[in-house]
Amino acid sequence: MARRRTAAPACALACAALLAAAAAPAPEALADPVAATGPAPVRADAERLAGRLASEVTTAGAWRHLEAFQRAADEHGGVRAVGTEGYDASAHYVTRRLTEAGYRVRVQRFSFPDSLPVAQTARVTAPDPRDLHPLLARFSPATPDGGWRGRLAVLPGNAYGCGAADYAGDVRGHAVLARYGGCDLARKSELAAAAGAAALLVNVDQQPAEMNIRSTVRPPAVARVPTANLPRGEAERLAADAARGPVELFLDLRGRAVTTESYNLLADTPTGRADRTVVLGSHLDSATEGPGLNDNGSSAAMVLETALRLAPHRDQVRNRVRFAFWGAEEEGMIGSGHYVAQLSAQERRETALVLNFETIASPNYARMVYHGTGAVPPGTDTVEKVFTDRFARRGLPTVPLEFDGRSDFAPFMAAGIPAGGGSAGYNHLKTPEWQRLFGGTAGQLTDPCYHQTCDDLSHLDRTILGQFGDAMAWATARFAVDVSDVGAVRAR
């Protein structure tokens, strides 16, 4: 699950072009494959296959794939991030299992500009000397050679730093402390630089107090000042110290620009109409700070298990299913953005819908189904209803998850392709209402190990993993047979 930020350049350019394509006049409606028999028999066939696949896709099956992802991380530095051997090992495992099941796996390569940390050191030098634990933002400018020494300036009222008025105080030449959120990091960087700040420190404002998460300044060209995130506990202590008097800091924040090469994995059912392709996908990469077994090994494992269990039923597949394992989601949906950008206009029209899943094994979970408001592609509401109906049939309550642009559905929706799926939660704070519905602990994150080293196999919840696996299998099989009620199929 990508941290909220502006879209990566590759995705941003692609999405702009795709939005233009989506606005073009719609072609003639495709022929309806159920016209000869009527919709009822086809829907019955769809539900039969959906029930069969849902019973065959199991938590135990997905868990075996998760164990393989854990080994991939353990044997390669504790991460499965894009551009690492841990990612390659995960991809090799997925490829082998799909090939054994009879799929032909296609590797779709891409590259993108990236940034790696070289130094991320911060210390309070007075009045209470201590080390801090910053995470350098990707594409952050560097502090001067030998580091920077100076005073801390805390924005008033715990401000986000999203407006010029937030910097009206004495910030020139100082390191500014702002609150996370409110706007993208690029805007904070521009405003801090315009006010003459020497650096930007951001209170990541997460639970628990020691949790920190790396952010990204996008587009990189607007990065103006050295920028890093601090854990909430450290940031709040800094603010308290500054309220009593001057706080002196030392910062050494430096990164290195690189080009990262990566790839998506794609595998199609050998049967089914190519002009009504159903894409089931999840990202395979982890964040750079941990093994990513929930984010997003949980979803990738269940997508793989769904593909393996669907293989023996290929003769019942009427609409081609494309299983996708995206790379570089954590860098800004770059893999899925590349995939959509490479589709021809005809291929975009022939993509019936995309199913996308994120963090489906969160231990303090909420059962969330993607829900679109406003201008969403036609057919998105149909996809949502398939999921909510399936959960309701099993007596499992759900709550809506807005399409927030933080996962691989974003490039598809920008191209006018309907989307759906869900999540058990990432850095969502569980509310008392969610606690009543789902149990767990209110006031804590749904995934307290989000983008942390503790996002390992021991951290996952098997119950919610299985519930989402059932819904994923049901929806995949249902749409593999029948997409006649997905409005965009006729409209595009």
Residues 460/70, Cβ–Cβ less than 8 Å: no
Residues 124/246, Cβ–Cβ less than 8 Å: no
Tokens 């700070």 locate to 289
Burial code (b: 16+ CB inside 10 Å, e: under 16) for 320-331 equals bbbbbbbbbbbb
Provide the β-strand partners of residue 121: 252
The DSSP symbol for 136 reads E
User: How far apart, in whole angstroms, are the C-alpha atoms of residue 225 and residue 188?
Assistant: 10
DSSP-derived pairing of the beta strands 105-126 and 399-402:
unpaired
Closest listed residue to residue 361, CA positions, set 286, 422, 270: 422
Distances (CA, A) of 433 to 356, 394, 442: 25, 20, 8
H-type alpha helices, 154-297: 185-194, 232-244
User: How far apart, in whole angstroms, are the C-alpha atoms of residue 411 and residue 287?
Assistant: 20
Q: What angle do CA 229, 232, 235 make, to 5 degrees?
A: 75
The DSSP symbol for 326 reads E
Other CB atoms closer than 10 Å to residue 78's CB: what's the count? 16
User: How far apart, in whole angstroms, are the C-alpha atoms of residue 229 and residue 241?
Assistant: 18
Relative orientation angle of helices 39-56 and 462-481, to the nearest 10 degrees: 150
Residues 314/480, Cβ–Cβ less than 8 Å: no
User: How far apart, in whole angstroms, are the C-alpha atoms of residue 275 and residue 264?
Assistant: 21
Burial code (b: 16+ CB inside 10 Å, e: under 16) for 20-49 equals ebbeeeeeeeeeebbeeeeeeebbebbeeb
User: How far apart, in whole angstroms, are the C-alpha atoms of residue 158 and residue 115?
Assistant: 29
Tokens 């974003």 locate to 410
H-type alpha helices, 75-127: 85-100
Tokens 């995949």 locate to 476
Which one is catalytic: 234, 289, 305, 329?
Answer: 329
329 is catalytic: yes
What is the distance, to the nearest Å, from the Cα of residue 379 to the centroid of all Cα atoms in its chain?
22
DSSP-derived pairing of the beta strands 368-371 and 419-423:
antiparallel
User: How far apart, in whole angstroms, are the C-alpha atoms of residue 22 and residue 238?
Assistant: 49
What is the distance, to the nearest Å, from the Cα of residue 157 to the centroid of all Cα atoms in its chain?
31
- Residues annotated catalytic, as ranges: 329
